[in-house]
Structure 1
Amino acid sequence: MTDTDTNSWRGVQSELLRRINEKEWPAGSLVPNEVDLAEEFGCARTTVNRAMRELADAGLLVRRRKAGTRVATHPASRVVLDIPIIRLEVEQRNAEWRQSLIEKTACVPPVRITSRLGLDPDAQMLHVRSLHFADNHPFLHEDRWMNIAALPGVERVDFSAVSSNEWLIENAPYTTGDIAFSAMNADAALADLLEAPLGAAIFVVDRITWDKDIPITSVRLSYAPGYRMNTKI
């Protein structure tokens, strides 16, 4: 097994996906049951269940009651994008990660945020802004709005100690989301934060996640110039 962290369902999912992609589990083969996998990974059965359910939803596993779980013979051609932990993304680039918390405020967000999330115009949300670094160089600016009503205790979280990105991934389930990729020119404020020239081309990710019909968060990630996104199919 790889050094993947299997204490979380995302880590288990990553390892199961590796076994499928590298044909350790060929198409049509029966995969071990949840109890055996949980024992192998040293985690709870519910953790394995969540990981396998996500892969089944993506069309990579076929689960049948009493018949077990098999690798799909003809996987659905469907793009599945996971939400990365920024800290790990930086560390996987062989850089040291740290963040600087810029703002944490409970307030009424702009109408463009509440309307996009389907919230009342006067709904209070938690606004968290952070600057993430890679080897002391700006990596990205995280501008996030969090639905206080859907996240009990979120106002008490110390986001200078843990990033809102990582806290949400570990604590807030989500079932669906919207994601958009775009480019923009850095204005004076963003150029200053990212140590970039005014008007520099910035790669931007806008993402909204929901848990069923409940909006969880809306975030804009603005990356420093030179960022390159890599993914797999």
Structure 2
Amino acid sequence: MHEEVLERIRERRWKPGDAIPREDELAREFGCARGTVNRALRALAEAGILDRRRRAGTRVALHPGGKATLDIPIIRREVEARGQTYSYALKIREDAVPPSAIREAMGLRRDDPTQRVLSVHSADGRPLAIEDRWINLAIVPMAAKADFTRISANEWLVTHASYTHGDIAFSAQAASDAEAALLHIDPCVPVFVIDRTTWYKADAVTTVRLTYAPGYRIHTRL
């Protein structure tokens, strides 16, 4: 029961914000006691996957993610939550063959359809983060038609693409000349870097390198 509900959410059969069937309907569908359904839904609500409200029913959380794990933030919302003005600039968008290291990380062949999206997110007019992303168009074909001049790939993928798990690494590195130019800082200044690859079962959905300007803090809950 628990895993079937998760599978429907991950596959976007139940999308963020959707109301799910009532407990008695699910009990009939799965052939189990209503108490079993209640326990499964309560556990998913405690994990942040579902939003349960008395008299309003149960819905898929708008941004489902385990409370004991690091979820994928939408940078625009992070900036606005701090009371700052958000802006975004698309720098590069191209269908291309990823470098060998990217192909290896994503498990791709040279002829697999991929798209690179490079953009800069800003807060109060100052560059905050560089988003350098590769998208596997075989898994997310709709991304080829997404308007990334109006919405970042970060936000579009969080709200449109299914994923089951991911790999993430954090590091402090010296800004390259290209990164320094985009962030308006001096070359070799230490910057915070997140390298993240998300997967849908055995297939990589996207890999991204997020390079943050000095002063950025990451926050999560346990």
TM-score by length of 1: 0.70
Q: Matches of residues 50-69 of structure 1 in structure 2 within 5 Å?
A: 51=64, 55=66
Question: Corresponding residue for 1:169?
Answer: 158
Q: Is the 8 A contact 2:51 2:60 kept in 1?
A: no
Shift of 1:207: 0.2
Whole-angstrom CA distance in 2 between matches of 1:87 and 1:156: 21
Whole-angstrom CA distance in 1 between matches of 2:112 and 2:201: 19
Q: Matches of residues 20-59 of structure 1 in structure 2 within 5 Å?
A: 31=42, 37=53, 40=56, 45=58, 47=60, 51=64, 55=66
Moved over 3 A (4+): 30-39, 48-51
* Structure 1 portions without partners, runs of 5+: 1-7, 13-27, 59-78
Whole-angstrom CA distance in 2 between matches of 1:50 and 1:207: 18
| Matching of residue 213 in structure 1 with residue 202 in structure 2 | yes
Shift of 1:31: 4.8
Q: 1:129 aligns with which of 118, 122, 128?
A: 118
Letter in 2 for 1:193: L
| Matching of residue 81 in structure 1 with residue 70 in structure 2 | yes
Question: Corresponding residue for 1:191?
Answer: 180
Bigger RCO of structures 1 and 2 (CA < 8 A, at least 6 apart): 2
Q: Secondary structure at the match of 2:60?
A: helix
- Deviation string 1:152-192 (CA, Å, 9 cap, x unpaired) is 22111110101100100100011100000001101111111
Letter in 1 for 2:53: L
Letter in 1 for 2:194: V
RMSD: 2.9
Letter in 2 for 1:37: R
Letter in 2 for 1:207: R
Q: Secondary structure at the match of 2:141?
A: coil
Q: Secondary structure at the match of 1:184?
A: strand
Question: Corresponding residue for 2:146?
Answer: 157
Q: Secondary structure at the match of 2:79?
A: helix
Question: Corresponding residue for 2:6?
Answer: none
Whole-angstrom CA distance in 2 between matches of 1:93 and 1:50: 19
Q: Is the 8 A contact 1:108 1:125 kept in 2?
A: yes
Q: Is the 8 A contact 1:37 1:48 kept in 2?
A: no
Going from structure 1 to structure 2, the CA distance change for 1:217 and 1:198 (only over 3 Å counts) comes to: same
Going from structure 1 to structure 2, the CA distance change for 1:130 and 1:50 (only over 3 Å counts) comes to: closer
Counting aligned pairs with the same residue, the percent is 40
Going from structure 1 to structure 2, the CA distance change for 1:88 and 1:50 (only over 3 Å counts) comes to: closer
Shift of 1:201: 0.3
Going from structure 1 to structure 2, the CA distance change for 1:49 and 1:165 (only over 3 Å counts) comes to: closer
Letter in 2 for 1:40: A
Shift of 1:94: 1.2
Q: Is the 8 A contact 2:51 2:59 kept in 1?
A: no
Whole-angstrom CA distance in 1 between matches of 2:143 and 2:125: 28
Q: Secondary structure at the match of 1:150?
A: coil
Whole-angstrom CA distance in 2 between matches of 1:204 and 1:232: 20
Whole-angstrom CA distance in 2 between matches of 1:174 and 1:46: 19
How many residue pairs get matched?
182
